[in-house]
Amino acid sequence: MWEVFARRKFEEPLAHVGTVAADDPDLALVYARTIFNEFTWVEMVLYPRASSVTAVST
C-alpha cells in the first residue's frame, strides 16, 4: 500500500490525497497518476505505508 501526497501550487504544502495498492513503485506511480487526476498537480509523491513511523497511536 502506498500513501499518495500532492499539491497544486508550489506555495501549498503537500496534502494526502489517497492510497493505492501496488507491488512495486512503477505500478504505484501509474495508479496514482491515473486515479488522482482531478487536478493539474505541480508535485505528487508516494510513500510505502510500510515505511511509516507511528508517532501516536490510540
Partner 1 sequence: MTETLPATESLEKLVASLADNKLFLGRRYAEWCTAAPTLESAVAAAAMAQDEIGHARSLYPLLRDVAGESPETEAETRTEFINVDFLNRPFEGWTDFVAANFLFDTALSVLLDSARESAFRDLGSRARRMLEEEPLHWLHGEGWTRRLAGRGEGVRQALIDSLNRVAPDTLAWFDLAAADLVTAGILKAGAAELRERFRAQVNEILTPVGLPAI
Q: Which of 10, 13, 26, 50 binds partner 1 (CB under 8 A)?
A: 26
Say how many Å lie between the first and final Cα of the chain, rounded: 22
Q: Which residues pair with 45 in a beta bridge?
A: 5
Q: Read off the amino acid at residue 46.
A: L
Nearer to partner 1, 7 or 36 (CB): 36
Which span sits near partner 1 by CB under 8 A: 9-17, 19-27, 46-54?
19-27
- Compute the distance between CA of residue 30 and CA of residue 33 in angstroms, rounded to an integer: 5
Residues at the interface with partner 1 (CB under 8 A): 20-24, 26-27, 29-31, 33-35, 37
